[in-house]
Amino acid sequence: MTAAIEILNVEKRFGNVGIIHGLNLSVAQGERHAVIGPNGAGKSTTFNLISGHIAPTSGEIRLNGDVISGLRPFEINRRGLSRSFQVTNVFARMTVWENVRCAVLWATGHRYAFWKNVDDLPEVRQRTAEILDDINLLHRREVPAGLLTYAEQRELEIGITIAGGADVIMLDEPTAGMSHAETERAVALIRRLTEGRTLVIVEHDMSVVFGLADRISVLVYGHIIASGTPDEIRGNPKVREAYLGEEAH
Amino acid sequence: MSVAAPSASDIRPVARSQSLKFYGIWVIVAIGLVVLPVIFSSGGSLTSFSLIGIAIIFALSYNILLGQTGLLSFGHAVYYGLGGFAVVHMMNAVAAHGWPLPLPFIPLVGGLGGFCFAAVIGWVMTKRAGTVFAMISLGIGELVASSSLILRSVFGGESGITTDRTALPHMFGWSFGPQIQVYYLIAFWVMIAAIAMYALTRTPFGRICNAVRDNPERVEFIGYDPHVVRYLSYCFAGLFAGIAGGLTAINFEIANSAYLGAVQSGLVLFATFIGGTAYFFGPILGAILVTYLQLGLTSLTTVWQLYFGIIFIGIVMFAPGGIAGILMMHRPLLRAGTLGTVIPSYLLALLPTLVLVGGVILGIETIAHYTASQGEGNVINLFGIPFNATTPSTWIIAIVTTIGGFLVARMTWRRIVEAWDRAARGARDQGYLA
Ligand SMILES: Nc1ncnc2c1ncn2[C@@H]1O[C@H](COP(=O)(O)OP(=O)(O)OP(=O)(O)O)[C@@H](O)[C@H]1O
Ligand SMILES: [Mg+2]
């Protein structure tokens, strides 16, 4: 089976500064893959590379076997990859309902249609309501997204990401800044919503990582130092030294 | 995945009563447009209504860019002007060849003209939003305006190109010579264009325009190319601006280079912003007010642009949501029933504010008259009271009413703020305000 995501020897430099070097990563289809690493390791940059937000300086990225490096984000999204952002990135002046509905429109085939009444599309309405129900924001649907609480905005961020029905979901620190109870709820949500899909998640909370992930990759200074099952990662001395040890002090 | 969420079926975004109310509004507007000239039948008001109607279409078309898609254009009059020229040439051709195309269909030609030019030039222009787009729009505006003076055969040079709207085939026995018939032609197109532009905001494309306005970066990650969205938006804005320009050409039976110049571009920006870009009806209010002021002020004072500037600065600074924003601010209070707490403070502020405004106007007019006119033009007629710009008493009255009015008005404005806080708290307690 071809890997959902395959990163081959990717390099990313910003000017003279090399942020990502010799990055190789493979995420199997249907796998829940966590990427961990210290602050500034390049986790978000890796997400930006995969999702087309930035182009690699060299190397190749494949989605389901097709080369996607160099494509624009919307082209990659249309091929079935959707990502969330570490810093909430929603449509602030539009309501919660509209935020999710916008994310549903392309996937339901309405594209740039300027001849259809958007309120008159049953499948769009149905799917929007389902997503809002999933992320527990149905009762807040008329509120402008900019006025939501922080935790609600994070949930909306996830909702927008999954609304298009992409097979590959990438979440960048979805639980950052959440309370313990909120985190638990969010993890249950992520587990349920990504059932049967491929998930790549960046997360600092180790209990979340080890509870959720099938496989874990450890990124340090723009390079993956280890990749394996949670047990393998826990037992890996290089990881303990470079990352987990640092966490423990 | 196939099981619908239990509450999903409860969600009806548009309730029946709401859509009834919606159609009701359009019907009322249509009736209003029909009876308006019956109530105000003087030639002057017919001309005013015609111009206001055109301004409404133009401002709404501008808001497709500014309010819906977040594109600030300084050259929107290009499409208005090209629509006007397209119409004039078409009318002359129809008259010359005897084509069976009656006048009511002619504005479409203007729309087509605006649309085509936008379609050709828009792709490059809309690559970037923000400052880049604003600057390019300014450049294109200047470019087209100056070429219009060079390409004499197309644009008729300084004098423009004239036409005769009665030379076209008549329809329903209407020659469209009398202004009343032109008014009804314009009113018809105002309805068509306004409904079409409103409908456009309610389509998938219209919703994505708003998303591009709010956050073009994120739009790319939900499958959309913001460039395409901006481009389509630009083409639609050009289309409706062209219809407005075409109606102007029909109304005046001429198109000239002033139609596509910077002044016209500035006016539409001004009207749209004053009316308020966040609501569909905002630009309509702005177009009515600005056209009315323009028609009224130009005959009253030589420095009417100064007043425009003051109003514009005032809105930008104190009410960035425009008139529509100010009106809609009161909706939660109205729902919560706390509007009654603010109304008295408004009434209290009215008189001192009017005194202040009167003082400022007198001051401006006095200075304008004193510096601009020598000798006999020194008498200013303000609210029916004659003032002589050269006598010291006029200056003293202006200064006293301005300063005194301001000091008293400021106290009453504070009361408004306090009353607002109370009313808003009431509305918030009842959940009508976030
Ligand atoms: N556009 C850019 N230009 C220059 N440097 C950048 C750019 N984007 C990221 N960097 C740098 O790349 C490094 C990695 O950043 P990145 O955001 O990927 O880290 P991260 O692993 O996601 O960290 P965190 O855990 O804090 O989110 C940082 O040093 C950052 O300053
Ligand atoms: Mg990061």
Residues of A with Cβ-Cβ distance to B126 under 8 angstroms: none
The pocket around ligand 1, CB under 6 angstroms, is made up of A 14, 19, 37, 39-45, 86
Among B187, B418, B128, B204, which Cα is nearest to A114's?
Answer: B204
Looking at CA atoms only, how far is residue B283 from chain A in angstroms?
19
Instruction: Please indicate, yes or no, whether residues B207 and B308 belong to a single structural domain of this protein.
Output: yes
Choose the final residue of a domain: B272, B299, B327: B327
For residues B74-98, give the mean pLDDT: 96
In angstroms, the CA A217 to CA A233 distance is 8
Task: Answer yes or no: is B298 within a domain.
Answer: yes
Looking at CA atoms only, how far is residue A45 from chain B in angstroms?
15
Measured between CB atoms, does A136 come within 8 Å of chain B?
no
Measured between CB atoms, does A87 come within 8 Å of chain B?
no
Residues of B engaging A, defined by a Cβ cutoff of 8 Å? 4-11, 13-14, 199-200, 202-208, 210-211, 213-215, 217-225, 228-229, 232, 236, 278, 434
Instruction: Name the residue with higher pLDDT: B115 or B431.
Output: B115
Could you read off the pLDDT of B41-54 as tens digits, one per residue?
888 899 999 999 99
Among B238, B199, B269, B272, which Cα is nearest to B112's?
Answer: B238
CA–centroid distance, A46 to ligand 2, in Å, is 9
Closest residue to A112, CB basis, from B5, B205, B213: B205
How high is the ipTM of this complex? 0.95
Instruction: Please indicate, yes or no, whether residues B96 and B190 belong to a single structural domain of this protein.
Output: yes
pLDDT at B3: 38
Task: Answer yes or no: is B358 within a domain.
Answer: yes
Among A26, A16, A27, A25, which Cα is nearest to A57's?
Answer: A16
Alpha helices in chain A (DSSP H): 43-51, 73-78, 96-105, 122-134, 150-163, 180-193, 206-212, 230-235, 237-239, 245-248
In A, minimum Cα distance to B236 occurs at A114
Quick check: A244 pLDDT over 70?
no
Contact B114, B248 (CB under 8 A): no
pLDDT at B15: 57
Joined together, the tokens standing for residue B272 give 């749209």
In angstroms, the CA A47 to CA B392 distance is 73
Quick check: A245 pLDDT over 70?
no
Task: Answer yes or no: is B49 within a domain.
Answer: yes
In A, minimum Cα distance to B433 occurs at A143
Residues of B with Cβ-Cβ distance to A192 under 8 angstroms: none
Amino acid, single-letter form, for residue B37? P
Residues of B with Cβ-Cβ distance to A134 under 8 angstroms: 5
B204-214 helix and B179-201 helix, angle to the nearest 10 degrees? 70
Residues of chain A numbered 160-189 and touching chain B (CB < 8 Å): 160-161, 163-164
Contact B405, B353 (CB under 8 A): yes
Instruction: Please indicate, yes or no, whether residues B280 and B347 belong to a single structural domain of this protein.
Output: no
> In 3-state terms, what secondary structure has residue A205?
coil
Instruction: Please indicate, yes or no, whether residues B222 and B305 belong to a single structural domain of this protein.
Output: yes
In angstroms, the CA B353 to CA B356 distance is 5
For residues B190-212, give the mean pLDDT: 97
Task: Answer yes or no: is B17 within a domain.
Answer: no
Task: Answer yes or no: is B305 within a domain.
Answer: yes
Contact B261, B124 (CB under 8 A): no
Could you read off the pLDDT of B341-363 as tens digits, one per residue?
899 999 999 999 999 999 998 88
Could you read off the pLDDT of B385-415 as tens digits, one per residue?
778 777 888 888 989 999 999 999 999 999 9
- Mutation target among A53, A105, A120, A189 for the B interface, most CBs of B within 10 A: A105
In A, minimum Cα distance to B206 occurs at A114
Topology of the domain covering A1-79+200-249: Rossmann fold (3.40.50)
pLDDT at B14: 56
CA–centroid distance, B251 to ligand 1, in Å, is 60
Instruction: Please indicate, yes or no, whether residues B260 and B308 belong to a single structural domain of this protein.
Output: yes
How many residue pairs bridge chain A and chain B with CB atoms within 8 Å of each other? 129
Instruction: Please indicate, yes or no, whether residues B258 and B126 belong to a single structural domain of this protein.
Output: yes
Closest residue to B215, CB basis, from A90, A121, A125: A90
Closest residue to A126, CB basis, from B4, B223, B229: B4
Quick check: B4 pLDDT over 50?
no
The CATH number for B104's domain is 1.10.3470
Quick check: A242 pLDDT over 80?
no
Task: Answer yes or no: is B434 within a domain.
Answer: no
Instruction: Please indicate, yes or no, whether residues B335 and B322 belong to a single structural domain of this protein.
Output: no
pLDDT at B274: 95
| CB contact (8 A) between residue B221 and residue A74 | yes
Task: Answer yes or no: is B131 within a domain.
Answer: yes
pLDDT at B305: 85
Could you read off the pLDDT of B174-184 as tens digits, one per residue?
889 999 999 99
Structural domain containing residue B270: 28-327
Residues of B with Cβ-Cβ distance to A147 under 8 angstroms: 434
Quick check: B167 pLDDT over 60?
yes
Quick check: B290 pLDDT over 50?
yes
Tell me which residue has its CA closest to atom 24 in ligand 1.
A39
Quick check: B6 pLDDT over 80?
no
Quick check: B19 pLDDT over 80?
no
Instruction: Name the residue with higher pLDDT: B264 or B305.
Output: B264
Instruction: Please indicate, yes or no, whether residues B236 and B344 belong to a single structural domain of this protein.
Output: no
Instruction: Name the residue with higher pLDDT: B8 or A45.
Output: A45
Quick check: A221 pLDDT over 70?
yes
Instruction: Please indicate, yes or no, whether residues B219 and B312 belong to a single structural domain of this protein.
Output: yes
The mean pLDDT of chain A is 93
Looking at CA atoms only, how far is residue A244 from chain B in angstroms?
33
In angstroms, the CA B181 to CA B49 distance is 12
Quick check: B321 pLDDT over 70?
yes
Joined together, the tokens standing for residue B222 give 């939900």
Could you read off the pLDDT of A170-182 as tens digits, one per residue?
999 999 888 999 9
Instruction: Please indicate, yes or no, whether residues B204 and B336 belong to a single structural domain of this protein.
Output: no
pLDDT at B12: 55
CA–centroid distance, A42 to ligand 1, in Å, is 5
pLDDT at B70: 97
Instruction: Please indicate, yes or no, whether residues B308 and B344 belong to a single structural domain of this protein.
Output: no
Residue A93: exposure state from Cβ atoms within 10 A (0-12, 13-18, ≥19) = middle
In A, minimum Cα distance to B225 occurs at A74
pLDDT at B5: 40
In angstroms, the CA B205 to CA B216 distance is 14
Residue B330: φ, ψ to 5°: -85, -10
pLDDT at A243: 64
pLDDT at A94: 96
| Class for the domain spanning A81-165 | alpha beta
Could you read off the pLDDT of A121-163 as tens digits, one per residue?
999 999 999 999 999 999 999 999 999 999 999 999 999 999 9
Could you read off the pLDDT of B233-261 as tens digits, one per residue?
999 999 999 999 999 999 999 999 999 99
Choose the final residue of a domain: B327, B350, B367: B327
Give residue limits of the domains in chain A: 1-79+200-249, 81-165
In eight-state DSSP terms, residue B131 is H
Confidence of residue B1 (pLDDT cuts 50, 70, 90): very low
Tell how strand A215-220 and strand A32-36 pair up.
parallel
- Mutation target among B127, B210, B221 for the A interface, most CBs of A within 10 A: B221
Instruction: Please indicate, yes or no, whether residues B94 and B146 belong to a single structural domain of this protein.
Output: yes
Helix (H) or strand (E) holding A227: strand A223-228
How many structural domains compose chain B?
2
Most confident segment among A65-69, B5-9, B146-150? A65-69
Which of A20, A35, A43, A209 for a ligand 1 pocket mutation test, highest count of atoms within 8 Å of Cβ? Answer: A43
Quick check: A36 pLDDT over 80?
yes
CA–centroid distance, A100 to ligand 1, in Å, is 28
Task: Answer yes or no: is B235 within a domain.
Answer: yes
pLDDT at B2: 38
Choose the final residue of a domain: B301, B327, B353: B327
Contact B62, B73 (CB under 8 A): yes
Could you read off the pLDDT of B54-82 as tens digits, one per residue?
999 999 999 999 999 999 999 999 999 99
